[in-house]
Amino acid sequence: MTTSPTVSRATAVAARATDLSKVYGHGETQVVALDHVTVDFRQGEFTAIMGPSGSGKSTLMHCVAGLDSFSSGSVRIGETELSTLKDKHLTQLRRDKIGFIFQAFNLLPTLTAMENITLPMDIAGRKADKQWVQQVIDMLGLSGRLGHRPTELSGGQQQRVA
Ligand SMILES: Nc1ncnc2c1ncn2[C@@H]1O[C@H](COP(=O)(O)OP(=O)(O)OP(=O)(O)O)[C@@H](O)[C@H]1O
Ligand SMILES: [Mg+2]
């Protein structure tokens, strides 16, 4: 019997949180947003996080993406343990390995849709693969809106730009 490639790919872990806790604030206003969460996100799969409003979904994603600090536990992206990284390397890892669509899309209001799309590459000083960018834009149905600013886009269009 041959080994199925999908089986071996599915076992690789893209990101992992172990015993992760995140506490906001102190004393009476303290909020335990994550309470010892352990979860694997595997390569080549979609993972949905579901739960009531305020249960910590966004907090978990922010911590696993290296966008926010956590109180205890650990987070790994691939083989890299985030707590070992200095700010500069964390920034590089986020830029190279992580795409993030925020709940509030966080587009830059003064930039056009196109400029928002290429912003991470522009900051990194890299040239975008024009064909690939065009393919993604076509796939998302944004080609007629590239010169518009975020306030001139619908919610769905802003989401797809993000
Ligand atoms: N900066 C903050 N300071 C204090 N408490 C916070 C902060 N951000 C989030 N919280 C609290 O942490 C808890 C988890 O918030 P989070 O945004 O992760 O929830 P969520 O599951 O994404 O909710 P929703 O479905 O409404 O987006 C909530 O009780 C929230 O009020
Ligand atoms: Mg949320």
For the chain, give every domain's residue range.
5-97, 113-161
Give the mean model confidence (pLDDT) for residues 39-67: 94
Q: Are 63 and 75 in contact (CB under 8 A)?
A: yes
Site to probe by mutation for ligand 1, drawn from 21, 26, 31 as the one with most ligand atoms within 8 Å of Cβ, is: 31
Give mean pLDDT, residues 89-93.
93
Q: CATH number for the 5-97 domain, one of 3.40.640.10, 3.40.1190.20, 3.40.190.10, 3.40.50.300? A: 3.40.50.300
Mean pLDDT computed over 127-151: 94
Supply 2's token pair. 């041959």
- The DSSP bridge partners found for residue 18 are 74
Average pLDDT of span 141-149: 94
Confidence band, pLDDT 50/70/90 cuts, at residue 145: very high
At residue 4, does pLDDT exceed 80? no
Ligand 1 centroid distance, CA of 24 (Å)? 9
Query: Per-residue pLDDT for 8 more than 80?
Result: no
Nearest atom (ligand 1) to Cα of 24: 4
Which residue has better confidence, 96 or 10? 96
Q: Which of helix, strand or coil describes residue 16? A: strand
